[in-house]
A = this chain, B = another copy of it.
Amino acid sequence: MVSAATRDRVLKAVSDTGYRPNVAARNLRARRSMMVLVVVPNLANPFYGEILRGIDDGLVEAGYGIIVGNLDRQTEREARYVDVALSGQVDGVLLLSGRVPVGSSGQTICDAGLPIVTVCASIPGLDATHIVIDDRAAAREVATHLLSLNHTRFGYLAGPASSINETHRRRGYLETIRAAGFSGNDIVILPGRYDIQAGVEAAEEWLRLAPRPTALFASCDAMALGFMKRVITAGCRIPDEVSIVGFDGIEFAELAEPTLTTVRQPRYRLGRAAANGLLARLRGEQGGNQSVRLEAKLCIGGTTGQAPVAAPAVSLVHP
């Protein structure tokens, strides 16, 4: 609402002086920062890279920038990001970590009163938008697939106990196997922590077992790939001696030989949905506790096959 003449005069002055608005001043005055904090458990895992891409694409369009808070799997690092939120450096928070970050003096990131969206891990009781897939149903599908291949001894390569995803995946897997008539004796649970090395260590444990489970569900691809590499190195054939299923659907799962059977999460779309959910809350359009569920899909690769028949063959000889 200015005359054309004035506008031109202003625009000319802008380009003459090379004027640039100062963002700190604007933020101070407007009481917002146009920044969003994204708390990531482990930047080194490419699973998060792709989600981050979706988040970035969604937020940048709306003029928001992202501040990355990498926990590097260390809970102690949460405090830093609680401070970032509490000191007004960001307008909203995106939690990929499945936990509410806790500060050094007992406050949580919720005390900042900022809009929060969680991705890939709904946190019970948290007033936030939760962008999720159905971990439990996906894990059931994994178990059903392995049962259909006549496996009778099952392994589960777990994530960290603190992870809510871990809980759901384990439950879905175990309940389906039990429902098929198997007992705890038919199931071996190997501890893990969602990284490659954990998969390697679990493989070493598995190699020492007798009898070995013939089917292994690793609760993330990084672990599945580490496991796979280690057992191949030990001379095992996949899927002849052991069937392996991962979870996440990272690109490298497709590059494994054989291609890893895995649950593919729509990572980019999860990121976009998270950005949209947060933008809606930032605009005040939404509040309360709600969930958006995206589809995950079991992708059958070459790492799963019929259970080996060695044992039954022996029993036929001695009826």
Binding site for B on A (CB under 8 A): 20-25, 27-28, 33, 35, 43-46, 48-50, 52-53, 56-57, 60, 65-68, 70, 72, 80, 84, 86-89, 196, 225-226, 228-229, 232, 251-252, 254-257
Contacts and interface: CB of A to CB of B under 8 A. Distances in A.
A249 to B, nearest CB: 13
Contacts of A228: 255
B28 A56 contact: no
A24 B87 CA distance: 9
Contacts of A48: 49
A68 to B, nearest CB: 5
Contact of A67 (B46, B65, B196): B65
Main secondary structure of the interface of A (DSSP, over half): helix
* Best-buried of A86, A252, A255, A256 by chain B (most CB within 10 Å): A255
B87 A23 contact: yes
Contacts of A89: 23-24, 65
A101 B276 CA distance: 28
A196 B50 CA distance: 14
Contacts of A45: 49
Given A49-B49, A254-B229, A257-B257, A43 B23 contact: no
B225 A255 contact: yes
Q: For the complex formed by this chain, how many copies does it contain in all?
A: 2
* Best-buried of A21, A68, A84, A256 by chain B (most CB within 10 Å): A68
22 contacts: A20-B88, A22-B88, A23-B87, A23-B88, A24-B33, A24-B89, A43-B52, A44-B251, A45-B49, A48-B49, A49-B49, A52-B68, A52-B70, A53-B70, A53-B72, A57-B72, A65-B84, A66-B68, A225-B252, A225-B255, A229-B257, A252-B255
Contacts of A68: 52, 56, 66-68
A13 to B, nearest CB: 16
A257 to B, nearest CB: 5
A94 to B, nearest CB: 13
Contacts of A24: 24, 27-28, 33, 88-89
Contacts of A84: 65
Nearest to A65: B67
A67 B70 CA distance: 12
A314 to B, nearest CB: 31
Contact of A232 (B86, B196, B257): B257
A257 B226 CA distance: 11
A20 B86 contact: yes
Contact of A56 (B25, B43, B252): B43
Contact of A46 (B46, B86, B257): B46
A87 B27 CA distance: 12
A255 B257 contact: no
